[in-house]
Structure 1
């Protein structure tokens, strides 16, 4: 069981506001149930196979504690996407594998079923990408998604992440760690024009 200090590690990353959203850290003591619901959703599992498969509340809480430790190290900025007015959780977005040496990172996101179709991922990605390429001081962001995930492709392109190609066998197949599938790679660099988003 984690200590109180481990459960409430201060994040070095700021909360982000804009486009009707507030991006804030996940709290392992409070948000584990929501995280579990998000990563066990069938649509999430169709397109994503995380290295750590989570199946219960204890695993979800431990995963969020690990993300908080990585935030303190400065390598991951993991955000709970919430409605700025109501505080309702809508999904997740993270800036991962942050390298301040190469000024690069990868981004990933998911949206809860009840929040889909409202532009949540587009608004959150636009907000997080702008912050990462300005205040965080990064130059290049990458976004990968499974081939055939057309919705994610559209979100990436709306947010200024150009399709750069197809990486063969670069992602796990759905629900498996012993088989692979192709991935679209999108990229955005600091000199790209800022996309016009709602």
Structure 2
């Protein structure tokens, strides 16, 4: 006998709405990327820390504009929600954060982020991770959101802990960096987990 399992989140939940703007407690906001933000994305690709941990690539402004257009298509395809972390009202971009690898039918996705130097050391990544996870679980309806990072990236481990993600284990040789394969920590939150204070 075959049992039908209903989709956790019905198709159309993202594509039938505009990507939201989400305020952060620190005064910044998460908003959709714009073509005018492309120079900041180019700058991110030249930052050694962002390049090492996230591999955005060395892009021209035109290539960055095309990447931003692809992110908008990924929203409409309901597979990713990529946001700029920026000053309110269209202000300067200090980073990126999003939910990638979204599978609405299965109810899960993965938090991702990077920060330019202007956004570092202020708790912005943790705030963005909490806000995006709340949006993904409470508004979008996902059941599980994971956050993974190289075991060598202590800053990302602290982000996961501050954002209330439970450490679930180490995935061996899970991500290829320029210096070889890295083990990755796996953290996750599921519906019903308490939110951090």
- TM-score, normalised with respect to structure 2: 0.85
**Matched residue, 1:3:** none
Q: What CA distance in whole angstroms lies between the structure 2 residues aligned with 1:18 and 1:44?
A: 22
Partners of 2:54 and 2:114 within 8 A in 1: no
Q: What CA distance in whole angstroms lies between the structure 2 residues aligned with 1:38 and 1:70?
A: 21
- 1:33 matches 2:39: yes
What secondary structure does 1:184 align onto? Answer: strand
Q: What CA distance in whole angstroms lies between the structure 1 residues aligned with 2:17 and 2:37?
A: 16
Spell out, residue by residue over 1:133-179, the C-alpha distance to the aligned partner (whole angstroms, 9 max, x if none): 100100100111111111110011111111111111111113x7xx4
Structure 2 matches for 1:1-198, cutoff 5 A? 12-19=18-25, 20-27=27-34, 29-50=35-56, 53-84=57-88, 87-174=91-178, 179-196=180-197
Which runs of 5 or more structure 2 residues have no equivalent in the other structure?
1-14
Q: What CA distance in whole angstroms lies between the structure 1 residues aligned with 2:20 and 2:89?
A: 18
Spell out, residue by residue over 1:40-72, the C-alpha distance to the aligned partner (whole angstroms, 9 max, x if none): 21011222235xx34322221111111111111
Q: What CA distance in whole angstroms lies between the structure 1 residues aligned with 2:84 and 2:90?
A: 14
Distance apart, 1:15 and its partner CA: 1.3
Which runs of 5 or more structure 1 residues have no equivalent in the other structure?
1-8
Two-structure CA RMSD over aligned residues (Å): 2.0
Partners of 2:151 and 2:185 within 8 A in 1: yes
Partners of 2:172 and 2:184 within 8 A in 1: yes
Q: What CA distance in whole angstroms lies between the structure 1 residues aligned with 2:191 and 2:167?
A: 16
Q: What CA distance in whole angstroms lies between the structure 1 residues aligned with 2:90 and 2:104?
A: 34
Q: Which moved more, 1:82-91 or 1:35-44?
A: 82-91
- TM-score, normalised with respect to structure 1: 0.85
Q: What CA distance in whole angstroms lies between the structure 1 residues aligned with 2:65 and 2:88?
A: 24
* Aligned residue-pair number: 182
Q: What CA distance in whole angstroms lies between the structure 2 residues aligned with 1:85 and 1:68?
A: 19
